[in-house]
Amino acid sequence: MRIDIISAVPALLESPLNHSIVKRAIDKKLVEIHVHDLRDYTEDKHNKIDNYPYGGEPGMVLTPQPIFSCIEQLQSERDYDELIFTAPDGEVFKQSHANQLSLKKNIVILCGHYKGVDQRVRDELITKEFSIGDYVLSGGEIPALAITDAVVRLVPGVLGDAESALNDSFQDNLLEAPVYTRPAEFKGLKVPDVLLSGNHQKVADWKHEQSVKRTKERRKDLYKKFKKEH
């Protein structure tokens, strides 16, 4: 899988992409991640990539030329399954989207910045638009990292335990059950007996019950979806 991330501030992406699961995926050659600096594609003599919006609003907008040039260059080298834009008014990114994207071969993620990008970019180039929540960030780099991390960990071979991704929260519209580790007792607080029983079926049943209970208490919206499907 290959992910190309286009950013006005590529330095914001450096550290998260060079640690933990994403770095391991890159080292295993299961994933390629390439970050592109928009300023490398501008034709402006002052190296500008933004300008004032028409209509007199405050703030700045990413201009279309460097974005078109960057994406056209990438598309001349390979086909892309999705061109994603991170925006507050995009569809809320969910686990189901991560599952779908993990099956793709090549994707582009364009990070918004300032007040966003010229609408012509969105109209002509973008195939999907995602938001990670109802709040405003300084740029699309953090959402791009969130999407990248959520997708990469689902690529076969990335995680050590082949089943761990399937048991994560939000798969099946359920939150994950409580988890415990050694010691079995700490400051008088004990691990539930069922987890120490060695009975795999009982453990699985307990985890499912706890998962449903937690979802019902904390995320009634997800619980309704779960009940509808079951």
Residue 174 — left, alpha, or beta (φ > 0 → left; ψ -120 to 50 → alpha)? beta
Tell me which of 58 and 118 has the higher pLDDT.
118
Q: Are 64 and 40 in contact (CB under 8 A)?
A: no
Instruction: Give the model's pLDDT for residue 160.
Output: 78
Q: Token digits for 215?
A: 């979802």
Cα separation, 34 vs 62, whole angstroms: 20
Instruction: Give 145-185 pLDDT, tens digit per residue.
Output: 999 999 999 999 999 765 466 556 667 889 999 999 999 99
pTM of the model: 0.88
Fold of 2-152: Alpha/beta knot (3.40.1280)
Instruction: Give 31-70 pLDDT, tens digit per residue.
Output: 999 999 999 999 999 999 999 999 988 899 999 999 999 9
Instruction: Give 73-82 pLDDT, tens digit per residue.
Output: 999 999 999 9
Cα separation, 154 vs 49, whole angstroms: 34
Angle, CA 15 vertex, CA 59 and CA 61 arms, to 5°: 15
Cα separation, 97 vs 180, whole angstroms: 29
Instruction: Give the model's pLDDT for residue 114.
Output: 85
Residue 131 one-letter amino acid: S
Instruction: Give the model's pLDDT for residue 167.
Output: 58
CATH superfamily of 171-229: tRNA(m1g37)methyltransferase, domain 2 (1.10.1270.20)
Domain ranges of the chain: 2-152, 171-229
Q: Are 13 and 145 in contact (CB under 8 A)?
A: yes
What is the average pLDDT across 92-118?
95
Instruction: Give 191-203 pLDDT, tens digit per residue.
Output: 999 999 999 999 9
Instruction: Give the model's pLDDT for residue 163.
Output: 47
What is the average pLDDT across 92-102?
96
Instruction: Give the model's pLDDT for residue 188.
Output: 97
Instruction: Give the model's pLDDT for residue 136.
Output: 86
